[in-house]
Structure 1
Amino acid sequence: MDMKILIADDDPIFRELVCDIIKKEGYISVEACNGQQAIDIFFDSKDIDLLILDVMMPIYDGWEVLKEIREHSEVPVIMLTALGDEKHEVFGLKKGADDYISKPFSYEVFVARLNVLLRKIKKSRLDEMKIGRMRIKQETHRVSICDSEIELNRKEYSLLIYLIENRNRVLTREQILRNIWGYDFEGDIRTIDTHIKTLRAKLLSCGEYIKTVRGSGYMFEVDES
């Protein structure tokens, strides 16, 4: 899972140092030399996962950049500053920063704090799947389509997840039966067709993602374009 981090600092040597650390940790770094550039890059890119903002920057300082970002996004933000007193740290956290690190900082401490925030992002993304117009919260088994929640029972939810996990692959009724109902199921194999029909109806327009493959079974397919 590639993570893209924007580093905004007007000191090129310090900026390069932070970029090197980020690259060594296996992440993608993007640089901005002032507050205006940081704002422009963030809103133009639309795929920045985390921001590291220096407080003292030309054009717009770190607080102004943070304020602008927070009006539109909850992306994690780490503030870097030479103003290391407690008052400034509390101020930064109240303004919406997720962490506040004073310069100069320990390499180990910086990496640890960076990875804590990025682990939270990764966990959140793994918990929430986005497939076409559907969003699935795996921890709570909530399925929503265009922000409207869809009620699925346990079997329907398991069937949907199995289809998604095997997307773009034809699944026979026997495969579905074994994986969802188990080897000891003694009912009619056509129960698969009934559940698929019900699941399609509950998924509304997203029901079209479940394709019938004549003579074979079913396939989950989404046109992401």
Structure 2
Amino acid sequence: MDKFKALYLEDDPSMQSLVMKILPENIEVSQAHNMSGALDLLNRNTFHIILVDLRLEGESGFEFLESLKDREFPFIPSIIIITASENEADEVRSHKLNVFEFIRKPLRPEAFKSQMEKYINRFRTGHNHVVKRVGPFVIDESKMEVKLTFDHTEEPILLTLKEYKLLLKLVNNPKKTYTREELLKEVWNISSDVQSRTIDMHISSLRKKLGAVGDTISSIRGVGYSFNLDKIS
């Protein structure tokens, strides 16, 4: 990750120009003027951070944020709101959508630049060489990659974001049994048990991808799932 990449959704050219001048030079920024343009860029690129204006012409930034909830990102991008809204309800709603920062206009250039530099440095130091080895599992948290070791070789396993987050949650707490409701809340950020079938489908897919070690994910009848290396024969 030599280049830190940002997506900036803003329909005011003067505001876009200002932010582009303020942002640190080591950020590679892709700009979008509307929601469809931003989604198109997301389909073709990996971003580490997304900057969003809430009030777009004919659209709402919240529509865009809602559309991100079920996307499968190679990295989980942090979201920063830059808005003229003074409405406290907008800020509360943003945080419920896992927004990292809520910044009000007008921007204070030096403070904003310093804030972004601090975030980039924290991201790089916090996501550098974070490799977890658990049994045959090799999990690189900086790249969100999972590999399995077989006969001293490492084989990459291609997982969706939700499968990765499920596996990491289980691996980080071996032998702890998670209910479907807990996994829905912690991985999907929803509390309803109406969609608990979603968990079963993702676990089934994850087990298939893990092949010979898929049994490390145990099903506890009527309760939920746990991770147990004792299942490896």
Structure 2-normalised TM-score? 0.54
Q: In the TM superposition, what is the alpha-carbon distance from 1:58 to its structure 2 partner?
A: 3.4
1:161-172 equivalent positions in 2, closer than 5 A: none
Query: 1:216 aligns to what?
Result: none
Query: 1:68 aligns to what?
Result: 67
Match of 2:90 among 88, 91, 102: 88
The number of residue pairs the alignment matches comes to 146
Secondary structure (helix, strand or coil) at the match of 1:10 reads coil
CA distance in 2, matches of 1:145, 1:52: 25
Q: Is the 8 A contact 1:8 1:38 kept in 2?
A: yes
Q: In the TM superposition, what is the alpha-carbon distance from 1:85 to its structure 2 partner?
A: 3.5
Query: 1:21 aligns to what?
Result: 22
> What percent identity do the matched residue pairs reach?
21
Cα distance change of structure 1 residues 58 and 43 upon mapping to structure 2, 3 Å threshold: farther
Q: In the TM superposition, what is the alpha-carbon distance from 1:86 to its structure 2 partner?
A: 2.9
CA RMSD of aligned residues (A): 2.9
Structure 1-normalised TM-score? 0.56
Q: Is the 8 A contact 1:8 1:35 kept in 2?
A: yes
Task: Deviation per CA, 1:82-103: give whole Å up to 9, x if none.
Answer: 1124332122111121111011
Cα distance change of structure 1 residues 68 and 120 upon mapping to structure 2, 3 Å threshold: farther
Structure 1: which 5+ runs fail to align?
139-143, 151-199, 207-225
Query: 1:100 aligns to what?
Result: 102
Q: Is the 8 A contact 1:128 1:137 kept in 2?
A: yes
Q: Is the 8 A contact 1:6 1:50 kept in 2?
A: yes
Query: 1:6 aligns to what?
Result: 7
Cα distance change of structure 1 residues 136 and 78 upon mapping to structure 2, 3 Å threshold: closer
1:138-149 equivalent positions in 2, closer than 5 A: 146=146
Q: Give the number of the structure whose alpha-carbon radius of gyration is greater.
A: 1
Cα distance change of structure 1 residues 127 and 45 upon mapping to structure 2, 3 Å threshold: same
CA distance in 2, matches of 1:59, 1:3: 30
CA distance in 2, matches of 1:113, 1:80: 13
Structure 2: which 5+ runs fail to align?
156-233
Query: 1:50 aligns to what?
Result: 49
Task: Deviation per CA, 1:124-149: give whole Å up to 9, x if none.
Answer: 4313369xx954469xxxxx98455x
CA distance in 1, matches of 2:94, 2:59: 15
Cα distance change of structure 1 residues 205 and 99 upon mapping to structure 2, 3 Å threshold: closer
